[in-house]
């Protein structure tokens, strides 16, 4: 089967615009690259955040209104699109994503289901475990980003041939330069302000850095329900002159290009997009060792990983990089080279195409 003969219907409940998180960003990035490589792609989504656009950067988006009629309307759209599209690629692991698996199965779609995060299969509730098990029976291809989900699917009896272990992709940019004479180290955090991302651990690490007399600043790029709590923590720790809340940005890469170290203090992840974007320009990374982070940063980057909930370790790794510009430069070159070889969206899309062909 040639690429142009493949037709993919992407479903994400919050397909861009706007981009609400890494899951949505990856769905659109993949759709765009598949289209460039000759695959017929269309997206199915809700109207959300006041958006009802039918075209986003060349990808047609079929949108339905949320509410009590959403599921019947989605079913009717799936019926109408079935003649043209053979594969339904679902990026949403929530309840509506599970419903879409069932609807797609009943209508004869080949189902691709992406698990964007680790711990999705860790529920202790019998009903949740049963639903996930049934879903796995209906799905033709389970897309996973890290070992935790892969192993749990195998434990549930999913055939290894039906598990696609693949990286998220990124558009590579020009490698940033590393200054050897900077007097102030610019740290950056990119992510939602939610419990999972543990931004408070980074703020506490900043308190330790100040005690070590490191000249630094931290820009927090992102918004969320914990923002007020994080702002209060900054001022309780007397870090108001070092830590700045920028808010949400639709172009965090612009801030990364002016930074020296990206810090990810998350409690759990899949394959975080913030790290991929840092890798795309060779920005040094300090992170917790969660999800697929170890795969992203590679053997050189493993020395800059910490266990979750350990601000002392985060501070130690930042301190190590901050005081050694030559180490930062070596790390930068390593990440950029690794990104081009392993995470470019062009290469990732080709891997998907090969899997689609087998369906």
User: Where are the domains positioned within the chain?
Assistant: 3-169+344-358, 185-342
Alpha-carbon gap, residue 35 to 14, rounded angstroms = 20
pLDDT of residue 135: 86
Alpha-carbon gap, residue 161 to 165, rounded angstroms = 10
Provide the 8-state DSSP code for 171. -
Structure tokens at 139: 């799905």
**In the CATH scheme, what architecture does the domain 185-342 have?**
3-Layer(aba) Sandwich (3.40)
Question: pLDDT of the chain along its 359 residues, tens only?
Answer: 455 589 999 999 999 988 777 889 999 999 999 999 999 999 999 998 877 778 889 999 999 999 999 999 999 999 999 999 999 999 998 899 999 999 999 999 999 999 887 677 666 677 777 777 888 889 999 999 988 888 888 888 889 999 999 999 999 999 988 877 778 999 999 999 999 999 999 999 999 999 998 999 999 999 999 999 999 999 999 999 999 999 999 889 999 999 999 999 999 888 899 999 999 999 999 999 998 999 999 999 999 999 999 999 999 999 999 999 999 999 999 999 999 999 999 999 999 999 999 99
Which residue from 318, 287, 291, 290 is spatially nearest to 218, judged by alpha carbons?
318
Helix 95-106 to helix 70-81 angle, to the nearest 10 degrees? 40
Find the radius of gyration of the CA atoms of the chain. 21
CB contact at 8 A, 116 and 91: yes
Q: Nearest 5 degrees, angle CA 219-CA 289-CA 141?
A: 105
Alpha-carbon gap, residue 314 to 265, rounded angstroms = 8
Provide the 8-state DSSP code for 122. -
Strand-strand pairing, 59-64 and 55-56: antiparallel
CB contact at 8 A, 89 and 114: yes
CB contact at 8 A, 300 and 232: no
DSSP states of 252-264: HHHHHTT-SEEEE
Alpha-carbon gap, residue 317 to 345, rounded angstroms = 29
Name the CATH superfamily for 3-169+344-358.
Glycogen Phosphorylase B; (3.40.50.2000)
Residue entry with tokens 């990119």: 190
Three-state SS annotation for 124-142: CCHHHHHHHHHHHHHCCEE
What are the residue ranges of helices labelled H in the chain?
22-36, 70-81, 95-106, 126-138, 147-155, 199-211, 227-236, 252-256, 273-281, 293-301, 311-322, 325-342, 345-358
pLDDT of residue 4: 57
pLDDT of residue 125: 75
DSSP states of 301-326: HGGGEE-SS-HHHHHHHHHHHHT-HH
- Would 3-169+344-358 and 185-342 be classified into the same CATH topology? yes
């Amino acid at each position: 089967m040639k690429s142009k003969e493949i037709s993919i219907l992407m479903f994400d409940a919050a397909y861009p615009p706007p981009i609400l998180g890494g899951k949505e960003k990856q769905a659109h990035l993949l759709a765009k690259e598949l289209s460039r490589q000759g695959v017929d792609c269309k997206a199915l989504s809700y109207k959300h955040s006041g958006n009802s656009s039918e075209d986003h950067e060349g990808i047609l988006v079929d949108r339905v209104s949320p509410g009590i009629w959403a599921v019947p309307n989605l079913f009717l759209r799936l019926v109408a699109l079935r003649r043209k599209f053979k594969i339904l690629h679902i990026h949403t692991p929530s309840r509506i994503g599970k419903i879409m698996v069932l609807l797609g199965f009943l209508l004869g779609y080949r189902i691709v289901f992406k698990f964007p995060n680790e711990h999705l299969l860790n529920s202790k509730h019998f009903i949740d475990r049963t639903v996930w098990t049934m879903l796995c029976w209906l799905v033709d291809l389970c897309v996973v980003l890290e070992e935790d989900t892969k192993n749990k699917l195998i434990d549930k009896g999913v055939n290894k041939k039906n598990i696609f272990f693949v990286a998220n992709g990124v558009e590579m940019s020009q490698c940033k330069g590393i200054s050897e004479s900077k007097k102030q180290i610019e740290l950056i955090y990119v992510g939602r302000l939610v419990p999972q991302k543990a931004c408070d651990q980074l703020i506490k690490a900043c308190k330790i850095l100040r005690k070590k007399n490191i000249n630094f600043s931290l820009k927090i790029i992102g918004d969320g329900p914990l923002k007020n709590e994080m702002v209060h923590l900054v001022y309780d720790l007397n870090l108001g002159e070092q830590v700045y809340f920028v808010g949400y940005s639709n172009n965090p890469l612009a801030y990364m290009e002016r930074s020296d170290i990206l810090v990810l203090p998350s409690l759990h992840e899949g394959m975080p997009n913030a790290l991929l974007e840092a890798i795309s320009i060779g920005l040094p990374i300090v992170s917790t060792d969660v999800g697929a982070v170890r795969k992203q940063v590679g053997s050189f980057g493993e020395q800059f990983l910490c266990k979750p909930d350990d601000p002392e370790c985060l501070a130690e790794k930042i301190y190590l990089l901050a005081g050694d510009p030559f180490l930062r430069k070596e790390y930068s070159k390593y990440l950029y080279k690794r990104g081009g070889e392993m995470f470019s969206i062009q290469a990732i899309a080709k891997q998907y195409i090969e899997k689609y062909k087998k369906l």
